[in-house]
């Protein structure tokens, strides 16, 4: 322990605080694919932090851009004042979004971006005279951050229960089906019919009560759940037919994770809004964004009398100049190094083949992959929970990753090379032989 006497004062988020503080894991610095802990050990960052450090750690270009921005314009109000860098960043960002989704509302995190998207959906429905459309549809096992709107549409029980009545939201079933789809390479073959549950739900509740459907193209925190072939297209068709907005929460699937800038582009399905955060600034400075289509933007813009605020929503730090500077430097890196498509190329193929070579090892019941996201699902013979133990053992073996139940989620920096993938596979091979 360094310059503090007690760990008691920092209430750690989403952490078993007492357990952590009795056996802390402290990271002191990071570079490229690696974290370095307080014992001087080198640990492979197999999750890019929390799905965000897509260009790898310690990028000097970002640090320099941030330092220059702080020395030039550290902060100014985004309400009724502007700064060039906010407009420049928005213009650069939309060169990577699907055609037509070219308006950006800035926030400070993924959770805030989700709230903003939900509020924009309601504002849009109101302005066009459809104020009865104020319910939402989310999906079982969905994760949309931790604010009240996000946990309402989210489908993770632990994050919802005990937090009161929440927003009006219905849920469609998730698409994980290990029995039918185990060890699928890329998108699973079976499960498109689960999209039809949306049709039934809209018919049952009446789509004149529903503002929007929100889903992650690939569920992350819910356990790395891939959309079955054709499923997202069918959701799009149903939403269009019922005049309901479709929002893709691409907080983790954006910025190269799936081998293209967005899941929407990878899967060729265009939502009405995209929620983004994390990789948008490489996780270096907090920033989130909602990308909306022209119809939503223009309807809201034209809905207020001249000279009046069109949308009563925004944050002190919306389009924070320092975050925008970081984001511009990150876009330079993504573009010049071709990182956004790297997961669709040779390294993506090596990732897929390597992870699937784990098939048949004791304890491993499924391997899932898409772009540079992966999941290895374990199961103990006695049904006991093994994920947390695996996560701690991997750390001791020099690898940092996330356990979601018994599923180990992998989302490495997009600069990953074959030798790092080999290390991941070797670590799982060791775990399988030690524990099962
Ligand atoms: N939407 C999605 C799809 C996310 O994955 C958020 C919204 C919220 O973003 P912020 O920036 O408010 O945290 C997320 C965040 C995990 C894990 O267990 C994933 C996230 C956060 C914490 C843990 O994989 N994603």
Question: 363 and 432 in contact (C-beta within 8 Å)?
Answer: yes
Is 11 among the domain residues?
no
Long-range contact list for 74-79, CB < 8 A, 24+ apart?
A: 74/321, 74/322, 75/320, 75/321, 75/322, 76/321, 77/316, 78/106, 78/314, 78/315, 78/316, 78/317, 78/318, 78/319, 78/320, 79/314
Range of the domain at 353: 17-58+340-435
What does the alpha-carbon distance between residue 286 and residue 284 come to, in Å, rounded to a whole number? 7
7-30 as b/e: b if 16+ CB within 10 A: eeeeeeeeeeeeeeeeeeeeeeeb
The verdict on the CB of residue 221 being under 6 Å from ligand 1 is yes
Cβ 114 under 6 angstroms from ligand 1: yes
- Token readout for 351 is 């990732």
pLDDT for residue 346 = 98
Cα–Cα–Cα angle for 295, 298, 299, rounded to 5 degrees = 80
How far does residue 255's CA lie from ligand 1's centre (Å)? 14
The pLDDT value given to residue 3: 82
Same domain, residue pair 128 and 209: yes
Domain end marker among 339, 370, 385: 339
Whether residue 303 is found in the same domain as residue 330: yes
Domain end, chosen from 339, 369, 397, is at 339
249 C-alpha to ligand 1 centroid (Å): 10
Contact indicator for 368, 185 with CB cutoff of 8 Å: no
On whether residue 9 sits in a domain, the answer given is no
Nearest residue CA, atom 21 of ligand 1?
50
- Atom of ligand 1 at shortest distance to CA of 216? 3
Tokens 């549950």: give the residue.
197
Distance of CA 374 from the midpoint of ligand 1 (Å): 16
Closest to 391 (Cα-Cα) out of 20, 52, 1: 20
The verdict on residue 8 lying in a domain is no
Question: 7 in a domain, yes or no?
Answer: no
229 in any annotated domain: yes
Q: How many angstroms is it from 362 CA to the middle of ligand 1?
A: 31
Tell me the C-alpha distance between 213 and 169, whole Å. Answer: 9
CA distance linking residue 403 with residue 421, whole number of Å? 18
From first CA to last CA, the distance across the chain in angstroms is 35
| Same domain, yes or no: 102 and 184 | yes
**Comparing C-alpha atoms, which of 203, 201, 210 is closest to residue 135?**
210
Do 86 and 154 belong to one domain? Answer: yes
Domain match, 263 and 321 both = yes
Residues 46 and 126 in one domain: no
Return the ligand 1 atom nearest residue 253 CA. 3
Does a structural domain hold residue 4?
no
pTM of whole model > 0.85?
yes
Q: Is the domain of 73 the same as that of 49?
A: no
Q: Judge whether 270 lies within some domain.
A: yes
d(CA 50, ligand 1 centre) in Å: 8
Same domain, 41 and 182: no
Residue nearest to atom 19 of ligand 1 (CA): 221
DSSP lists the bridge partners of residue 64 as none
| Of 310, 339, 368, the domain-final residue | 339
Nearest residue (by CA) to ligand 1, atom 6, is 145
CA distance 387 to 392: 9
Atom 24 of ligand 1 has which residue's CA nearest to it? Answer: 221
Domain membership of residue 1 (yes or no) is no
CA distance 294 to 297: 5
Pocket test for ligand 1, best of 141, 251, 275, 406 (most atoms within 8 A of CB): 251
Mutational test site, ligand 1, from 51, 155, 276, max ligand atoms within 8 Å of CB: 51
According to DSSP, the residues that pair with 105 across neighbouring strands are 290
169, 226: one domain: yes
Domain total in the chain: 2
Q: What is the mean pLDDT of each run of 10 residues along the chain (436 residues)?
A: 86 96 95 96 98 98 98 97 97 98 98 98 98 98 98 97 96 98 98 98 98 98 98 98 99 98 98 99 98 98 96 98 98 98 98 98 98 98 97 97 97 98 98 97
Q: Say what the pLDDT of residue 1 is.
A: 57
Q: Check whether residue 359 and residue 421 sit in a common domain.
A: yes
Q: How far is CA 196 from CA 72, 174, 247, in A?
A: 53, 12, 17
Q: Are residues 270 and 410 in the same domain?
A: no
Instruction: Give the CATH number, domain containing residue 406.
Output: 3.90.1150.10
Q: Over the range 335-350, which residues count as b (16 or more CB within 10 Å of their CB) and which as e?
A: eeeebbbbbbeebbee
Q: Is ligand 1 within 6 A of the CB of residue 402?
A: yes
Tell me how crowded residue 129 is: count the other CB atoms within 10 A of its CB. 8
d(CA 69, CA 66) in angstroms, rounded, equals 5
For residues 167 and 71, membership in a common domain is answered with: yes
CATH number, domain with residue 227: 3.40.640.10
Give residue 51 CA to ligand 1 midpoint distance, Å: 8
247 CA distance to ligand 1 middle (Å): 16
């Amino acid at each position: 322990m360094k310059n503090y006497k007690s760990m008691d004062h920092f209430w750690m988020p989403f952490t078993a605080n007492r357990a952590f503080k009795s056996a802390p894991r402290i990271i002191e610095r990071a570079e490229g694919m690696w974290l370095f802990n307080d014992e001087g050990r080198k640990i492979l960052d197999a999750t890019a932090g929390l799905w965000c450090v897509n260009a790898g750690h310690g990028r000097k270009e970002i640090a320099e851009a941030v330092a220059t921005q702080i020395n030039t314009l550290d902060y100014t109000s985004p309400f009724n004042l502007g700064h060039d860098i906010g407009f420049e960043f928005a213009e650069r960002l939309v060169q990577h979004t699907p055609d037509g989704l070219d308006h950006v509302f800035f926030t400070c995190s993924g959770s805030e971006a989700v709230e903003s998207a939900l509020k924009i959906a309601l504002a849009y429905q109101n302005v066009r005279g459809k104020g009865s459309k104020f319910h939402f549809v989310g999906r079982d096992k969905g994760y949309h951050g931790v604010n009240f709107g996000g946990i309402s549409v989210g489908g993770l029980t632990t994050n919802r229960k005990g937090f009161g009545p929440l927003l009006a939201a219905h849920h469609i079933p998730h698409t994980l089906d290990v029995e039918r789809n185990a060890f699928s390479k890329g998108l699973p073959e079976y499960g498109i019919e689960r999209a039809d549950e949306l049709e039934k739900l809209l018919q049952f509740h009446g789509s004149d009560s529903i503002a929007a459907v929100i889903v992650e193209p690939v569920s992350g925190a819910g356990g790395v759940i891939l959309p079955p072939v054709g499923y997202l297209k069918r959701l799009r068709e149903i939403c269009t037919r019922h005049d309901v907005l479709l929002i893709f929460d691409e907080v983790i699937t954006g910025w190269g994770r799936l081998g293209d800038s967005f899941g929407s582009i990878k899967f060729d399905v265009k939502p009405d809004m995209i929620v983004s955060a994390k990789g948008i600034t490489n996780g270096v400075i907090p920033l989130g964004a909602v990308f909306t289509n022209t119809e939503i933007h223009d309807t809201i813009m034209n809905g207020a009398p001249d000279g009046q605020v069109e949308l009563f929503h925004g944050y002190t730090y919306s389009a924070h100049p320092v975050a925008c500077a970081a984001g511009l430097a990150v876009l330079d890196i993504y573009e010049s190094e071709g990182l956004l498509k790297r997961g669709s190329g040779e390294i993506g193929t090596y990732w897929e083949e390597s992870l699937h070579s784990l098939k048949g090892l004791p304890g491993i019941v499924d391997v899932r992959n898409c772009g540079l996201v992966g999941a290895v699902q374990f199961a103990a013979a006695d049904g006991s929970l093994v994920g947390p133990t695996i996560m701690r053992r991997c750390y001791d073996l020099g690898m940092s990753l996330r356990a979601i139940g018994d599923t180990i989620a992998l989302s490495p920096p997009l600069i990953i090379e074959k030798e790092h993938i080999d290390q991941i596979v070797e670590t799982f091979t060791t775990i399988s032989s030690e524990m099962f």
